[in-house]
Amino acid sequence: MNKVHLPSKDQVTLSQKVGQLFMPAVFINDTEEEVQKMEQLIANYHIGSLCFFHSRASAATNFEGKKQIVHNEKSYGRLVELIARYQKAAKIPLLIAIDAEWGLAMRIENTPQYPYAITLGALQNREDLIYHTGKAIGRDCLSAGIHWNLAPVVDINSNPENPVIGYRSFGDDKQKVFTKAEAFIRGMSEAGILNSIKHFPGHGDTATDSHLGLPVIDKSLEDLQNNELYPFQQLIQKGVDSVMVGHLLLPQLDNEGPSTTSHKIITGLLRNQMGFDGVIISDALNMHAVSKTFSEKGTLEAKAFSAGMDVLCFSENTKEGIDLILQQETEDRIEASFERIWKLKEEAFSNTNKSDGLDWETASEINSEIAQNCLTERIGRKELLEEIRASNFLNLAVHNGKANLFSKGLEEAFGHPVLKIPSDQGIIQQKLDKTETVVLSLFPPAVKPKDQFGFDDVVLQIIKSIINGKKVLLYLFGNPYVLDILGILPNTNVVIVYQDFPEFQKVALQHFLGKTMAKGLLPVQLKTFSL
């Protein structure tokens, strides 16, 4: 990354300093008209930072899924091009941010994807792999011109019904969440990329999606300190660049409004009690948990800043927000946030690390090693694998459109053709009458629990019927929370593979062939296994 020179702070006016607090969203699939509007906004209001998303259809306000997301084969090149354009429009260099929790692939197609946090959570005493993951993601960010990865998630996912955190969390154990997050941050820092731990004060124990509504966490400060706040506090003491505040209502801490606009939570708890003196950034301000409550433009931004926020992420009312903050806030208060943001810029722009482009080879190597160490078994009898291997098992699969290397590998090794649910259901039913053993590879259509992870009722019913009627060995290439909707029985045999990447499928095949052991542990409690 080329070294960037900041102007002297003395040359920055008060109005420009307020502009530095704002982080509008930008989208790689925007039209030329929309790009030019953003260039004007940057130039006219001295915007401090930008957060990149894929498209307006994939942004937070589309979580109802009403807009179609268009695939863009040239996403990465477009990202690099837009960063250059927006930097050129800025009189003060911009901090460029993105959510890259599992790599740029979280927002940008055709870029290396790394495992979800829940997959890393299954690793046992392999923080070195998490460190290398963080470092590789950091280098990919660096290659595009990104300074700030708004990651990792340090929420403790203690609620299986959580619709938005789930697979994005390292697990439900506070100490493991801390140690794994710390390793990820060390890796990113080594690459020279800024971090942001989120979603303060803890978004794990809720069944509400804050993109759509306001989650309530009805816990005392003592309860929060004993669990949700633990990884935040430990990481703050270790040193982090920023903390992102989630949109949560905590009535025992402040019953007057969400954490986003709570002086008691942002300034009182995070800043004063927990001793965090770095940048505090909001979660996306267009999310319905808060945006629907503030109808007058700029009032949400002004209220969040008044509560102690430094950076206003995904603000859609920049001009009005700047005007209100200038009217309502003291120069000292503005100066305090500006100093924190400027310090972050000085750190980011002093980074002389270089990246020659996306490192696909390293990504594949890391993914292979993680796959070899995260596979998680729940098998009743050790002899079962050998018994099924030796049987005339049915090789069944539920696809998600990705290449099924695992089932194809079984076909090549044992001569049992792959049969797909539901398209081959007629043949499957005939063969089920003649066999007692099944190897079922399951590729969920979606990673999020919305709409049954993308499964339709017919497919779910077929899966449940097979699980109930036959001796099944299930390989799950996806979010382990899928198991809670499958009608799993106490004696159902499951191998959780977590990801559908080719590297993970190859390791799963080696596991079935008896050539590798399952070394991972499930990092969360499933309702299925607690019955």
Catalytic residue positions, numbered: 211, 283
Q: Which residues of 386-408 are buried (b: 16+ CB within 10 A; e: fewer)?
A: eebbebebbbbbbbbeeebbbbb
Q: Is there a contact between 269 and 200 (Cβ–Cβ < 8 Å)?
A: no
List Cβ neighbours of 361 (8 Å cut-off, separation of 6 or more).
none
**98 HSE (CA, 13 A, CB side):** 30
Residue 186, classified by CB atoms within 10 Å of its CB into exposed (0-12), middle (13-18) or buried (19+), is middle
Distance between CA 56 and CA 62 in Å, rounded? Answer: 8
Q: How far apart are CA 268 and CA 272, in angstroms?
A: 5
Phi (first) and psi of residue 489, to 5 degrees: -100, 160
CA neighbor of 420 nearest in space, from 405, 437, 442: 442
- Cis status, amide bond into 152, omega within 30 of 0: yes
Distance CA 73, CA 470 (A): 43
By CB atoms closer than 10 A (0-12, 13-18, 19+), residue 377 is: middle
